[in-house]
Chains A and B, each alone.
Chain A
């Protein structure tokens, strides 16, 4: 009995550093040696794909990087797969940032997508423009919804946007779609000043935002939601362009198994030692 209690005690008091170390190993090893486990596509991602797949050459997308750099790591698969799909559909794309750190993302993004941009002859000014950091606060978002050229006159390098495809954009109703890639910095302002007026919007957000963002899909403000890195991986699968998302799914699977394992272990320890001790 005494030995049994000791085992329970050991399970209840596992050193957290062992948990960190195991999680670190379980996540890092599949990155260094990928396994490519199977992946099912969720209805959320199918809906997101349907919205982006319906775009055509006459459409203009406002591609909003509403993220700091650390958060980008979670949604980069969604960002890259969405941009690839938009380029393949021939839709025009204006890339805007609402966080100073997001200004470093477009060059990385286009470096990764160079092959598809060359294949579809996707050119700066004609097909896409990088606007840089133009949405620092709610007032800027609200103003751009009413008078876009009153707020934005130049691209990120100081070149005038006049003469580009953005000449056709005046206010909220001229955008075919707003695609937000968010860690929660400014997406609420877009909901209030674009979504509520009727501009079609989709969002790829980080995991912690999903429960609070999903109700906006139910209300129709967001046409679709791409959930976290998992959604990005599913989109990569749908467009047949494996990228960082699909490569990360092995780590996710093993990481989740490990946490389930520790939840079971901790509960055994709790009922076998902590609770019994409290009852005594």
Chain B
């Protein structure tokens, strides 16, 4: 463990616990401190990394004789006019080009990846493979049919169609439950991963525990003395 490692561990643990101070149920200056620090860090890093990217791909490319990249640099500079109220219309052109190129690149393939391939993957043999495969395929096929009938809006749902739509509706509830469970698992994993980062290797554990205690104590003291609200910056 170097002194730098120690400083990083202390700052990381303290700011993380400040972030978790939002669970106290009241706005606090500790949360504001952590939030503003993160925004500052994130912005700084993004600027540096993107400037380096422009240098590596743009400037070095132009130096190597790829003159067409000058056009890209000019368009990039035009975007900066967006901050000036009088000349912000200049930024519309490069933004329109970027949007148009992005849409074109994405749309020409999305029809396959997001639509045709998905339909193809649903239309599969229902009687081949082992018992588990057959069960999965039948489940997918039936769910697609039931749920599609739920979304029939142009005819009145009566008889078998109504039954199918009702089953489709309940299947959607099951799907929503599964998605919620996945989401919870994901959010828990984020929390667990963060706590692990703050507690590994073992020499970080006392720092983590101390940060928890200090932040909680600060919150209670600030709350009792009425400073919690007064010291919290306005949104």
Contact = CB atoms under 8 A, between A and B. Distances in A.
A116 to B, nearest CB: 18
A137 B50 CA distance: 12
B186 A208 contact: yes
A208 B179 CA distance: 7
B179 A248 contact: no
Interface residues of B, number: 53
Contacts of A259: 184
Given A27-B192, A28-B195, A142-B105, A136 B53 contact: yes
A133 B194 contact: no
Contact of B109 (A17, A27, A192): A192
Contacts of A4: none
B25 A17 contact: yes
B106 interface: yes
B205 A32 contact: yes
B109 A196 contact: yes
A137 B72 CA distance: 14
B199 A32 contact: yes
Given A154-B60, A196-B109, A219 B196 contact: no
B47 to A, nearest CB: 9
Contacts of A16: 25
A124 interface: no
B145 to A, nearest CB: 17
Contacts of A74: 186, 189-190, 193
| Dominant secondary structure of chain A at its interface with chain B | helix
Contacts, number: 151
B183 A17 contact: no
Contacts of A132: 52
B185 interface: yes
A156 to B, nearest CB: 9
Contacts of A193: 105, 109
Interface residues of A, number: 60
Nearest to B61: A153
A103 B50 CA distance: 11
B24 interface: yes
A251 B182 contact: no
Nearest to A71: B190
Contact of A247 (B53, B61, B102, B196): B196
Contact of A73 (B46, B64, B184, B197): B197
A27 B195 contact: yes
A207 B180 CA distance: 10
A192 B113 contact: yes
A98 B137 CA distance: 35
Nearest to A70: B190
A36 interface: no
Interface of B: 20, 23-25, 42, 45-46, 48-50, 52-53, 56-57, 60-61, 64, 101-102, 105-106, 109-110, 112-113, 117-118, 120-122, 175, 178-179, 182-197, 199-200, 205, 209
The 5 closest A-B pairs by CB, nearest first: A207-B186, A73-B193, A100-B49, A192-B109, A229-B189
